[in-house]
Structure 1
Amino acid sequence: MRSLEGLSAFGSLEELILDNNLLGNDLVLPGLPRLHTLTLNKNQITDLESLLDHLAEVTPALEYLSLLGNVACPNELITLEKDEEDYKRYRCFVLHKLPNLKFLDARKVTRKEREEALVRGSFMKVVKPKVLCTQICESFQNTAMEEEWSIGLFYR
């Protein structure tokens, strides 16, 4: 499933399981004021902050969230470059953005995690480089074309 069209007709929905789909960063949920449980396991979500900002806006009653199996959820079993510290930072950032959560992924939110999220959560954001390889390549090609154009003018 890639589209959530029609979901807006279920405004009183309380639980939504969207595991094992092709949902990505373009995920848009309608306002679901009663939704308390959302699982998005094993999808293609990479932009954690955008997702959390969106969920904070459209799911104010959210208490149970699971994002396991997405790039946005660092997990050493799925990605060898990630470790338990990455996962702790992730939990702290998620709880900073969604302070009403009681469960995140497969674990209950602890009082200690909640306190740390209040103090340090905003600093746990994973920052990605804004310039992508394709943008670098396009920039290089544009520069090369401009140089060819100016050389052509010079020789004419």
Structure 2
Amino acid sequence: MGLNMIPVGSAHDEYPAIELLSVTSRIRVQILSRPRSLEGLKAFTELEELIVDNNLLGNDLWLPRLPRLHTLTLNKNQITDIESLLDHLAEVTPSLEYLSLLGNEACPNELVSLDKDEDDYQRYRYFVLHKLPHLKFLDTRKVTRRELEEAQARGAFMKVVKPAYKEDSSDSSCASPLMQYTPLPSGSRDAKSHRGVLAKCRYVYYGKHSEGNRFIRNDQL
């Protein structure tokens, strides 16, 4: 058709344009600008591949229903809420088989944070496969049968829960835990009314050596 640049995204995008490439029967769209929205894709219901790496897409990402989309890469964006994204993809991309989320905070690995390890990443994979059981390839690895079985059995419990930080301007919240105590009032005890206990304990030592020598070790002789 001789059409290479097609507008996509909202009017607030700095460079709202994409490149449309047709390869045999496949339709592939690669985002060249840095949009915050993909609303313009609603005109491409026959999309099969969508590449939106290195953009500004966040948790408010919205996709139209793309029944033929099988490949989606969202690498290096600003996605932090994995559950909302997966629920949305399960609804609008029923044929999705390949998904890549590397470089997003929602994908816990060394590319995002050095304090993440392989266990964190594997739990993430189980959770993703629990939500999208038809995936055949996730990020850089093929989905295995064992992963699918584990995802079906325990994937729902693999969600990473982040602590909620609540700002509190009160002085009590800023105090050190060691300082948060309530001592007894000074008038509740009379210093002269202290009570003590004195008792006697009869002790007899039976042994072959003197009682003093039993406290001396061989290395001290």
Q: TM-score, normalised by structure 1?
A: 0.83
Which residue is equivalent to 2:50?
16
Shift of 1:47: 0.3
Shift of 1:37: 0.3
Q: 5+ residue gaps in structure 2?
A: 1-34, 171-221
Percent of paired sites with the same residue: 78
Q: 5+ residue gaps in structure 1?
A: 142-156
Distance 1:102 1:26 in 2: 26
Q: Does 1:90 align with 2:124?
A: yes
Distance 1:6 1:51 in 2: 19
Shift of 1:78: 3.2
Distance 1:84 1:121 in 2: 16
Distance 1:47 1:77 in 2: 17
Q: Provide the aligned length of Structure 1 versus Structure 2.
A: 136
* Max Rg structure: 2
- Where is the helix percentage greater, Structure 1 or Structure 2? 1
Which residue is equivalent to 1:99?
133
What CA deviation, in whole Å up to 9, does each residue of 1:56-108 have, x standing for no partner? Answer: 01101000000000000011243111000000000000000000000000110
Distance 2:162 2:111 in 1: 22
What CA deviation, in whole Å up to 9, does each residue of 1:16-64 have, x standing for no partner? Answer: 0000000000101111111100000000000000000000011010000
Distance 1:22 1:102 in 2: 26
Q: Comparing both chains, which one has the higher relative contact order based on Cα–Cα distances under 8 Å and sequence gaps of 6 or more? A: 1
Alignment of 1:55-134 (within 5 A): 55-129=89-163, 131-133=164-166
Q: State the SS of the aligned residue for 2:39.
A: coil
Q: TM-score, normalised by structure 2?
A: 0.59
